Amino acid sequence: MQIKSFDSTVFVSSNLVEQLAQSISNFPKANKIFVTVDENTKKLCWPLIKDIPALQQAHLISIPAGEQFKSIDTTVSIWKVLNENGADRKSLMINLGGGVLCDMTGFAASTFKRGMSFINLPTTLLAQVDASIGGKLGINFNGIKNEVGLFNSPKDVIVDTIFLKTLDRTNFLSGYAEMIKHALIFDANHWKNLQEFNPLDAPAGVDYTLLGQLIATSISIKNEFVTNDPYEKGLRKALNFGHTIGHAFESYLMKQKRGVLHGIAISQGMICEAYLSHKKTGLPQSQFEAITNYILKHYGKIDFMQDDYEALYELMRHDKKNEDSLINFTLLNEIGTVKVNNVCNKSEILEALDYFSGL
Ligand SMILES: NC(=O)c1ccc[n+]([C@@H]2O[C@H](COP(=O)([O-])OP(=O)(O)OC[C@H]3O[C@@H](n4cnc5c(N)ncnc54)[C@H](O)[C@@H]3O)[C@@H](O)[C@H]2O)c1
Ligand SMILES: [Zn+2]
């Protein structure tokens, strides 16, 4: 299956080697090829592609794994390898990794000599359904996530579930939360299909063919929103469902040294924002309960105390998605239909947190 996204073609493939060889062959003038990996994808994913003839002379650029290395220092180390090995604008970069690696290497490629072409091979579920669609590239800077970056697109994105066979369950669940979000904001049928698939079976007990179809649907949904609103003026805000409260949870837990993966925090945020949707935008009780029960069953619940509410509220107040210091939510009218720009006041937000705490 192929999906056009800005200047990229996204291939949801089940024949990785053939697809990658085909994508590389579209660059007959590429004098040099650079493959970026992190320490995990070097071990687990590079062996799946390294025998491709076109990659025999490729330079491997290995970076440390982890969000803390999504930095200017790591970017400089990538530019350095490119520079010392004679990369130029005709060279090709192939990025093999999760969202951290793809965001940063895409940024490094887009800025080196004012931009060289790159192909992304996202290797985590989150990167496949979220980070590799929409053109946002960048690094963390001065303690702020994604502070420096740009919009640019890989030439091709090759999404293959074969990579997910080595991904741990928590990372799998983190990516799956974004798929649940896609279903809730846009496609009741996708929601039905996602409920029939058990992410807790990952990685060993999963039907990877079916998963590939679910991933393709999620990519199409994200693509629908980002292509209609490339610079986040309005519609794209739909993708923030679960993220206003979810981000506050994520930041708060990190400060408390109880950090969780992004999608896990967002799953909890979706419960709270489904509550607000029920109260404010008409999400029917039965659908609200179905969402809550599904998330509790698959993600469990992270505990917050009443003493935490004020700090969580402050984090929401400083969310960069707010306008005019009002806290802005993306809420559901029903499963599959979303409404952006809903302002909720402090007492409504605290009520949602209280509901969540009482579960
Ligand atoms: N650009 C966007 O639109 C966008 C959207 C969402 C998230 N993001 C970014 O994505 C990043 C998070 O991405 P992530 O969740 O993929 O994290 P990640 O890239 O850190 O990957 C998670 C872990 O899995 C390992 N890994 C990668 N592939 C593997 C595989 N196939 N098998 C086993 N282990 C593997 C990695 O080495 C890492 O340790 C954040 O920096 C976030 O800002 C960007
Ligand atoms: Zn997210």
pLDDT tens, position by position, 259-268: 999 999 999 9
Sign of CA dihedral 157, 159, 162, 165: positive
Q: Is the pLDDT of residue 232 over 80?
A: no
Distance CA 99, CA 181 (A): 18
Region 80-84 average pLDDT: 98
Residue of 100, 226, 250 best suited for mutating to test ligand 1, as the one with most atoms within 8 Å of CB: 100
Q: Calculate how far, in angstroms, residue 262's C-alpha sits from the geometric centre of ligand 1.
A: 10
Q: Which band of pLDDT confidence, cut at 50, 70 and 90, is reported for residue 66?
A: very high
pTM: 0.97
| Contact by Cβ (8 Å): 302, 268 | yes
Strand partners, 36: 61, 95
How many CB atoms are located within 10 Å of the residue 301 CB? 14
Strand partners, 62: 37
Q: Which band of pLDDT confidence, cut at 50, 70 and 90, is reported for residue 235?
A: confident
Q: Which band of pLDDT confidence, cut at 50, 70 and 90, is reported for residue 309?
A: very high
- What percent of the chain shows pLDDT beyond 90? 93
DSSP label at 66? S
71-77 own/partner pairs: CB under 8 Å, 24+ apart: 71/139, 71/140, 71/141, 72/139, 72/141, 72/148, 74/104, 74/139, 75/104, 75/107, 75/108, 75/139
Question: According to the model, what pLDDT value does residue 321 have?
Answer: 73
| Residue nearest to ligand 1 atom 7, measured at CA | 131
For ligand 1, what atom is nearest to the CA of residue 168?
A: 33
Tokens of 258: 């109880």
Tokens of 261: 């993966």
Exposed e or buried b per residue across 334-345, where buried means at least 16 C-beta atoms within 10 angstroms of its C-beta: ebbbbbbebebe
For ligand 1, what atom is nearest to the CA of residue 39?
A: 37
Q: Calculate how far, in angstroms, residue 100's C-alpha sits from the geometric centre of ligand 1.
A: 5
Region 128-132 average pLDDT: 94
Region 46-59 average pLDDT: 97
Q: List Cβ neighbours of 314 (8 Å cut-off, separation of 6 or more).
A: none
Q: Is the pLDDT of residue 132 over 90?
A: no
Distance CA 235, CA 339 (A): 9
Q: Is the pLDDT of residue 231 over 80?
A: no
